[in-house]
């Protein structure tokens, strides 16, 4: 079985590894980051997302709570009205952050919740009770959906549930069953999805645009571009499954978990500088973007990405990294080209002078530090390269006949 640390990294998939680790850290902090990986068949989208189970940290929950209640903020019907003394008597336990999947054959009751048949048919003590579904059981964790474009096409009821869960942070879930009171729960969960936009029924933004907009980031998975990387993948595919635990791999997974917790700790305290928030706001206003979720995603992603890359503070380069990921599925190809061209045309000189003006007041005559200038220059140079793969993917989606 493939493990997360064993997977080959290359230019075509490194961003997805970054996004997965950023999303886990954000989820740990109670601020989900929803991800959608698109790409051709067999490029490893699903493998990366599923093997991320290996690096999930542990969370503390009320002991035995199937809803994963946070002891500091219990939310489920059983524990939310308990006093501090009553909760202390129940106790707490450590579990791995949940990672659950929604299959294409799932029913609404399986996903949201239904009557607990075991309890209602118990001959010694029959009682009507609720059995929570996949979503409430994934609270404070991850839900994964493969081929989400097909699910959105064939299961509109489940899509409607996801719209509520992903609409706000935290999301909202309402469970209704005849004979039982309606249960409404706040839900903190990051939704990850994978799809091939070239296959029926087509790209998610064409199948269900509302659901597509709920994803904070969409990444188009690229193919490996070097002989060495492909050869390494072939070698790993021939390795036999080990019967014993590989201590080196486990050590790497422990290091990933440590870094995720480090990012989460920084994220809980981090703030985006005002000049970067204004930079993002100008993109929204200038290009008449429809969804405020887009700029919220850019802001969230910028903070997480800067922490992932161990920056002292977020930079314009980090914003530039996030823009195509947050906008690819929210604007048409022409608009995305226009936005990226306008950022590039702005020029590094003009942008750095603007930064000096904004930051210089706080730092004195020194203005922007050399590191920040270099990061912006590097970001501007990379803008075209970052956008190229996203734009190619967008153009393929919009113009399949070409």
Shared-domain flag, residues 191 and 317: no
Under DSSP, the state recorded for 243 is S
> Which residues, in sequence order, are CB contacts of 369 under 8 Å at separation 6+?
363
Residue 32 has pLDDT above 80, yes or no: yes
If asked whether residues 11 and 132 sit together in one domain, one would say: yes
Q: What is the mean pLDDT of the chain?
A: 83
Are the C-beta atoms of residues 191 and 307 closer than 8 Å to each other?
no
Domain coverage including residue 278: 271-398
Domain annotation covers residue 46: yes
- The closest of 193, 227, 307 to 10, measured between CA atoms, is 227
Query: Would you say residue 90 lies in a domain?
Result: no
Residue 157 and residue 208 share a domain: yes
Question: Are residues 283 and 142 located together in one domain of the fold?
Answer: no
pLDDT at position 257: 97
CATH number at residue 168: 3.40.50.300
Same domain, 101 and 14: yes
- Indicate if 34 and 120 belong to the same structural domain: yes
In a domain, residue 168? The reply is: yes
Instruction: Select from 189, 222, 237 the last residue of a domain.
Output: 237
Residue 253 in any domain: the answer is: no
Query: Strand 99-101 relative to strand 141-146: parallel, antiparallel, unpaired?
Result: parallel
Q: Which of 237, 262, 297 finishes a domain?
A: 237
The model's confidence at residue 355, banded by pLDDT at 50, 70 and 90, is very low
Whether the CA torsion 38, 42, 46, 49 is positive or negative: it is negative
Answer whether residue 336 is part of any domain: yes
Q: What is the pLDDT of residue 64?
A: 95
Q: Which residues of 146-172 are buried (b: 16+ CB within 10 A; e: fewer)?
A: bbbbbbbbebeebbebbebbbeebbbe
**Do 124 and 223 fall into the same domain?**
yes
- Are 188 and 287 contained in the same domain? no
68 three-state secondary structure = coil
Name the pTM for this structure: 0.83
User: Looking at the domain assignment, is residue 280 inside a domain?
Assistant: yes
Domain final position from 213, 237, 261? 237
Residue 372 contacts residue 358 (beta carbons within 8 Å): no
**201 upstream amide cis, omega within 30 of 0:** yes
* Distance, CA of 93 to CA of 326 (rounded, Å): 36
Strand, coil or helix: 113: strand
| N-term to C-term CA, the chain | 39
Tell me, yes or no, whether 123 and 214 share the same domain.
yes
Tell whether 105 and 147 lie within a shared domain: yes
pLDDT band for 226, please (50, 70, 90 cuts).
Answer: confident
Residues 164 and 34 placed together within one structural domain of the fold? yes
Number of domains in the chain: 2
Nearest CA-CA partner of 139 in 45, 86, 73? 73
* pLDDT tens profile 300-338: 999 999 999 999 899 999 998 999 999 999 998 888 888
Do residue 132 and residue 201 come from a single domain? yes
Q: For residue 272, give Cα distances in angstroms to 6, 213, 269, 301.
A: 34, 23, 10, 11
Q: Where does residue 60 rank: exposed (0-12), middle (13-18), buried (19+ CB within 10 A)?
A: middle
103: in domain = yes
Of 304, 292, 314, 321, nearest in space to 379 by CA = 321
The answer as to whether 16 is a domain residue is yes
Q: Locate tokens 């912006």: which residue?
A: 376
pLDDT the model gives residue 125: 52
């Amino acid at each position: 079985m493939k493990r997360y640390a064993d997977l080959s990294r290359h230019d075509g998939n490194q961003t997805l590894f970054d996004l997965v680790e950023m999303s886990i850290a954000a989820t740990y902090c109670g601020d989900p980051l929803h991800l959608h990986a698109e790409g051709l068949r067999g490029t490893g989208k699903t493998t990366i997302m599923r093997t991320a189970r290996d690096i999930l940290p542990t969370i503390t929950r009320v002991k035995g709570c199937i809803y994963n209640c946070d002891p500091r903020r219990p939310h489920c019907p059983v524990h939310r009205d308990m006093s501090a003394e009553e909760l202390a008597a129940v106790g707490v336990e450590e579990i791995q952050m949940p990672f659950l999947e929604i299959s294409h054959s799932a029913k609404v009751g399986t996903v949201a919740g239904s009557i607990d048949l075991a309890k209602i048919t118990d001959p010694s003590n029959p009682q009507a009770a609720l059995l929570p579904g996949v979503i409430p059981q994934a609270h404070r964790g991850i839900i994964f959906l493969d081929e989400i474009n097909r699910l959105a096409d064939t299961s509109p009821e489940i899509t409607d549930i996801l719209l509520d869960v992903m609409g706000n942070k935290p999301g909202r879930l309402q469970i209704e069953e005849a004979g039982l009171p309606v249960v409404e729960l706040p839900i903190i969960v990051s939704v990850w999805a994978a799809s091939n936009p070239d296959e029926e029924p087509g790209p998610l933004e064409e199948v269900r645009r509302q659901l597509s907009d709920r994803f904070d980031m969409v990444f188009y998975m690229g193919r490996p571009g070097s002989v060495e990387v492909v050869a390494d993948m072939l070698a790993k595919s021939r390795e036999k499954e080990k019967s014993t635990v590989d201590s080196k791999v486990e050590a790497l997974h422990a290091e990933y978990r440590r870094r995720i917790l480090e990012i989460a700790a920084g994220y809980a305290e981090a703030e985006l500088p005002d000049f970067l928030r204004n930079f993002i706001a100008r993109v929204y206003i200038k290009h008449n973007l429809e969804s405020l979720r887009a700029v919220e995603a850019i802001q969230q992603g910028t903070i997480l990405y800067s922490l992932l890359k161990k920056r002292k503070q977020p930079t314009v380069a980090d914003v530039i990294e996030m823009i195509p990921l947050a906008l690819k599925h929210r604007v048409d190809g022409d608009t995305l080209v226009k936005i990226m061209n306008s950022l590039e045309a702005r020029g590094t000189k003009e942008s750095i002078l603007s930064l000096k003006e904004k930051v210089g007041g706080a730092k004195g005559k020194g203005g922007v530090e050399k590191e920040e200038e270099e990061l912006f220059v590097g970001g501007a140079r990379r803008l075209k390269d970052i956008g190229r793969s996203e734009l190619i993917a967008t153009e393929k989606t919009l113009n399949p006949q070409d």
